A and B are shown apart, each in its own frame.
Chain A
Amino acid sequence: MRIFVNNKPVTLLPGMTVKHALIKAELLEEIEAGKKVYDEWGNELGLDGELAEGVKLFVRTKEINKFTK
């Protein structure tokens, strides 16, 4: 399964998750430091989230909490 983290390709086993993608991209430490991982539409993802072929992930600074109520 090939996905993209911050636009760089990462190859993973089927069944591997967002966490594995970040390990592979050497970005898990950035999550520990407070950054968040988002999909290509700007939705935050949990680290155990399952992936699919071609998914695009972006690690960046946490946005303002958007919970509305």
Chain B
Amino acid sequence: MEFFKKFILFLIFLLIFVSNLTAETIELRILYINDFHGFANPYKPLGSEKLLGGVSHLAEMVKKLRNEKPSIFLAAGDMIQGDNWANLFEGKSVIELMNAMEFDVMVVGNHEFDFGLEVLKQRILEARFPILGANVEGLELLKPYIIKEISDIKIAIVGIVTEDTPVSTHPKNVKGLTFLSPEKTVEKYIKELKSQVNIIIVLSHIGHYADRKLAEKIKGINIIVGGHSHTKIEKPILINETIVVQAWEHGKALGVLDLTLMDGKITKFEGYLKEISPEKIDAKISVKAIVDKYNEMVDAVLSEKIGVAQTDFDGENVRKKETNLGNFIADIIKKTAKADIAIINGGGIRASIKKGDITVKDIYSVLPFNNYIVAIKLTGKQIKEALEHGVSAIEKGEGRFPQVSGIKFSYNRDNKPGFRIQEVFIGEKPLELDKEYSVATNDFLAAGGDGYKVFGEAIKASKDFVIIGGVMKGQKVIYSDSSRYLRDVVVEYIKNEKIINYTTEGRITEIKD
């Protein structure tokens, strides 16, 4: 009997030993980028003297790494919107690029919705790779997941996007769509897929913070390839049994995750970010031709005549006094947000427009920053504080000097800062200090830029953001549309009006002692 037990044990050990000898080791490579935002050309990031990115250089690196072992190439969302190279073609240029680079799959990001649903549908149809959105209901062209088979390994890729998409793009862009809980969606698909595949990847556009929570809570995810928070995860992170990665932004880094599998299970992983820089990699392949083609088209679009200025529009004196260009832009902001008044910083206006033809480039030079329109409820007292702040450094010509719409005020620079504002009228009526008014501005001032603290105070007091009538609203916030830059709103306005003529009209009056 004892001999028999020993013999059985021996057979078991032999079986394990032989099966280990015969188990097939497979190597797979996952390449990934996220939050590309159409940055096809290399650029120097703020605070850096080094050129980074450049999609033709990225493509070269992808090609090299793909040739080394079986690979899949993933995009974790926010690919088609952002830089002019993408925006001027509503993302078509990026899809052409991604087709040429042979992406395997992409998840939709919140900014993919910024050009509206019809444009997004067109982009999905142009893509020669599937676009995922498992937690998006109402857009049939988005697939919940795909299953790829590489070297006999079955890989399920489930795509999820942030549930906050309706408040991070204009709500009209997602009308009719429902964004379900990413967590519950992933749980549902894991149940469905776990018996069918060897590896489950969640291609996520919910941000690194949410990715970590997902990995902590949900069992069965092998890998989360993330986006949305633009996080530079230089080495893969292991949370429970889930590998979490993300590759920064704008194609400045390529994520590489190498897997070793035995009997269809991941037994080893190693990953890193490969810096993408024109100094390191030559760009020789066909992707460069696409980049160059659209660069030329960008120039053509920027040179397009959109209207005629019947007078010179003054962008030189916007830090010192009311100008017709300041009035023009402030009026458009007020009208777009349907606000009582508008206050913007003169420093946000960076060039003049000469009398004659106006091109897109003229407007992009006037408004070079990626600002968008926000409107917030302020009391009359807060408006007066904002104006006091606006004229508090007029001697220095600082950018905080206001340009306004729907409001008239006078000031005396001989008084101390904080005591300069004299009379203020909203429309034709004197400002009431206790009354609330809706004030349109740009996101820079809304965030407290140029020292405008009153907007921040109002935001702090605003709770319970909801979507009413197609626009995000809070207790104090009545408008916020991050999906359209101010400059594009102005371009559209001029295209509609065709001829523009503006004067100064005594909105801002300086009183001397």
Contacts and interface: CB of A to CB of B under 8 A. Distances in A.
B228 interface: yes
Classify the interface of chain A: helix, strand, loop or mixed: loop
B398 to A, nearest CB: 14
Give the size category of B's interface with A. 35 or more
Contacts of B207: 49-52
Interface in A9-68: 11-16, 18, 20-21, 23-24, 26, 31-36, 39, 41, 43-52, 54-55, 65-68
Interface string B246-273: 0011100100100000000000000011
A16 B444 CA distance: 10
B272 A69 contact: yes
B167 A14 contact: yes
B208 interface: yes
Contacts, number: 118
A14 B47 contact: no
Contact of A50 (B46, B82, B168, B256): B168
A33 B272 contact: no
Interface stretch (B98-106, B147-155, B315-323, B446-454): B446-454
Contact of B446 (A13, A36, A54, A67): A13
Given A11-B459, A15-B482, A34-B47, A46 B477 contact: no
Contacts of B477: 13
A44 to B, nearest CB: 4
Given A23-B448, A24-B448, A32-B46, A11 B208 contact: no
Nearest to A48: B230
A34 B50 CA distance: 11
Interface string B444-477: 1011110000001001100001000000101001
B164 A45 contact: no
A44 B232 contact: yes
Nearest to A16: B447
A15 B162 contact: no
Nearest to B445: A23
Given A13-B374, A31-B47, A67-B234, A20 B35 contact: no
B208 A39 contact: yes
Contact of A43 (B45, B208, B459): B208
Contacts of A18: 230
B480 interface: yes
A32 B250 contact: no
B233 interface: yes
A16 B472 CA distance: 13
B274 interface: yes
A11 B234 contact: no
A23 to B, nearest CB: 4
A52 B205 CA distance: 13
Contacts of B447: 12-13, 16, 20-21, 23-24
Contacts of A44: 231-232, 248
Contacts of B168: 14-15, 50
A48 B167 CA distance: 16
B377 interface: no
Pick the most buried of A11, A31, A33, A69: most chain B CB atoms within 10 A of its CB. Answer: A11
15 contacts: A11-B460, A12-B459, A14-B465, A23-B447, A26-B448, A34-B47, A41-B237, A44-B248, A45-B232, A46-B230, A49-B230, A50-B110, A50-B162, A50-B168, A55-B209
Given A16-B447, A31-B47, A68-B234, 14 more contacts: A11-B459, A12-B447, A12-B459, A13-B474, A20-B447, A33-B47, A43-B232, A45-B230, A49-B35, A51-B229, A52-B229, A65-B275, A68-B272, A69-B274
Task: Give 5 closest A-B pairs by Cβ, nearest first.
Answer: A46-B230, A49-B230, A46-B249, A20-B447, A15-B168
